[in-house]
Copies of this chain bind each other. A is one copy, B any other.
Amino acid sequence: MKEELEKYFDRLWPICRSITGNGLRESLKILEEIIPLQWSEVPTGKSVFDWTIPKEWNIREAWIITPDGRKIADFSINNLHVVNYSVPIQGEFTWEELNKHIHTIPEIPNAIPYITSYYRENWGFCLAHQEWISLPKEGKYKVLIDSTLEEGNLTYAQCVLKGNTDREIFFSTYLCHPSMANNELSGPLATAFLYRMIASIPNRKYTYRFLFAPETVGVIAFLAEYGEYLKHHIDAGYVLTCCGDPGAFTYKRSKHRNSKADIVAEHVLRHSQKKHSVIEFAVGGSDERQYCSPGFNMPVGSLMRTMYQRYQEYHTSLDNKDFISFAALEETVMMYFNMVRVFEMNDQYVNVISHGEPQLGKRGLYPSSINPVFNREETHRLLHFLSFADGEKDLVEIAEWRNESALLYENIIQDCRKAGLI
């Protein structure tokens, strides 16, 4: 999977995405090679809850020419150089005049910051601090931003993978950032490849929904259309972002704290032997704040690696291919996939021999008493499962009683089914 992830990463990387526009659409088209998508276009000016769909932004070219004739801040070299949603501009400025439109990070002098101005018309450039301060203070700077801000559409896309029931597990990822790797290309890539793995499970119990939408306003637009349905059908949901760096896992809980989303994610993490931490819901985050807003309050958490705002490279040009690891990204996909495996198994089984324990010997399920050590661990697990399979406790509770992974019970459940015990 690693090589394929890298191939798609390299194709998506150079595209300049925003919360609207052709870069977003181009990215969705590439992802459609992995996951079939149903597109929604929401027109400029449409009200979605408390928000209004903004104008559509597109950009062709942008640069600054220094007094000594060098072209810098060239959009075609790094699309972070332009403040996202900049209005068009062409003109000449002194260093002082231009400085009001320049963004840098003095604390990380070699990083280009990622800046947006969606809801206030403005323009600007982003540069490495060390570059900007080394430029001549005298003379005129020529500036061009060849962008458009016009009536158009906001685009989002989803895939619904039907299962035997209409209860849903929901995966949401955002697609609106220009060239940055962990936040955010890792999220859409993980979501698309997770789809592929889930689609290969035969006879799925759950319906799975996958959403690719611009952050905040895109998700609010999705919720305006699908929120009520989802609210009544969702069993668990996750926001996929920051999935690709090699740091420890971070699980951010839903507001419920102990929804199925939280229980299963923490169960799988705990028994994965991987380093991880669990944090509570907080609004300083991503689209979970829409899903968990009071009117929806869905069981939506987020399994990440190193969380947004907790790494210095966040929202800068340093969040690039060097910062992430495709092995780590694959590991994140597998962690989500193990959560899915647990969801598919996590029923409330009923042991039909409820009074006294079943006689395993006559069913060929008991190790011979002549050899008391043979396979004792597995027999204990089987007896444990049957003793707790009372139709009330689910598999995760039963496995947690022994402080072990529900995934260890896959064969036992099959054996019990064959023997007619459940």
Complex: A157 Cα to B295 Cα, angstroms: 50
Asked if B387 and A356 make an inter-chain contact with CB atoms under 8 angstroms apart, the answer reads no
Known: A290-B356, A295-B355, A369-B115. A361 touches B283 (CB 8 A): no
Chain B: CB-nearest residue to A85:
B369
Q: Distance in Å from the Cβ of A177 to the closest Cβ of chain B?
A: 14
Q: Is A301 an interface residue (CB 8 A)?
A: no
Chain B: CB-nearest residue to A119:
B361
Q: Is A346 an interface residue (CB 8 A)?
A: no
Asked if B387 and A283 make an inter-chain contact with CB atoms under 8 angstroms apart, the answer reads yes
The quantity of this chain's copies bound in the complex is: 3
Known: A119-B362, A294-B387, A390-B294. A289 touches B357 (CB 8 A): yes
Interface residues of A in 98-150 (CB under 8 A from B): 103, 115-120, 122, 124
- Among the listed B117, B118, B357, which residue makes an inter-chain contact with A293, where contact means beta carbons less than 8 Å apart? B357
Asked if B284 and A354 make an inter-chain contact with CB atoms under 8 angstroms apart, the answer reads no
- Among the listed B223, B358, B370, which residue makes an inter-chain contact with A122, where contact means beta carbons less than 8 Å apart? B370
Q: Is A273 an interface residue (CB 8 A)?
A: no
**A351 — which chain B residues lie within 8 A by C-beta?**
294
Q: Distance in Å from the Cβ of A348 to the closest Cβ of chain B?
A: 11
Asked if B115 and A383 make an inter-chain contact with CB atoms under 8 angstroms apart, the answer reads no
Complex: A296 Cα to B384 Cα, angstroms: 15
Complex: A361 Cα to B54 Cα, angstroms: 13
Asked if A289 and B387 make an inter-chain contact with CB atoms under 8 angstroms apart, the answer reads yes
Q: Is A3 an interface residue (CB 8 A)?
A: no
Q: Is A180 an interface residue (CB 8 A)?
A: no
Q: Is A220 an interface residue (CB 8 A)?
A: yes
Asked if B49 and A356 make an inter-chain contact with CB atoms under 8 angstroms apart, the answer reads yes
Q: Distance in Å from the Cβ of A211 to the closest Cβ of chain B?
A: 14
Q: Is A196 an interface residue (CB 8 A)?
A: no
Complex: A295 Cα to B119 Cα, angstroms: 61
Q: Is A407 an interface residue (CB 8 A)?
A: no
**A197 — which chain B residues lie within 8 A by C-beta?**
none
Q: Is A353 an interface residue (CB 8 A)?
A: yes
Chain A contacts to B: CB under 8 angstroms: 48-51, 83, 103, 115-120, 122, 124, 216, 219-220, 223-224, 227, 255, 280, 282-284, 289-290, 292-297, 351, 353-359, 361-362, 368-370, 372, 380, 383-384, 387-391, 401-402
- The contact sample of 14 A-B pairs, CB cut-off 8 A, is A48-B356, A49-B353, A49-B355, A49-B356, A50-B357, A115-B372, A118-B369, A120-B369, A220-B357, A224-B355, A282-B402, A284-B383, A289-B357, A295-B354
**Supplied contacts A49-B353, A283-B387, A284-B383, 18 more A-B pairs, CB within 8 Å:** A48-B356, A49-B355, A119-B361, A120-B361, A122-B370, A124-B370, A216-B357, A219-B356, A220-B356, A223-B356, A224-B356, A255-B387, A282-B384, A290-B356, A293-B355, A294-B354, A294-B387, A296-B356
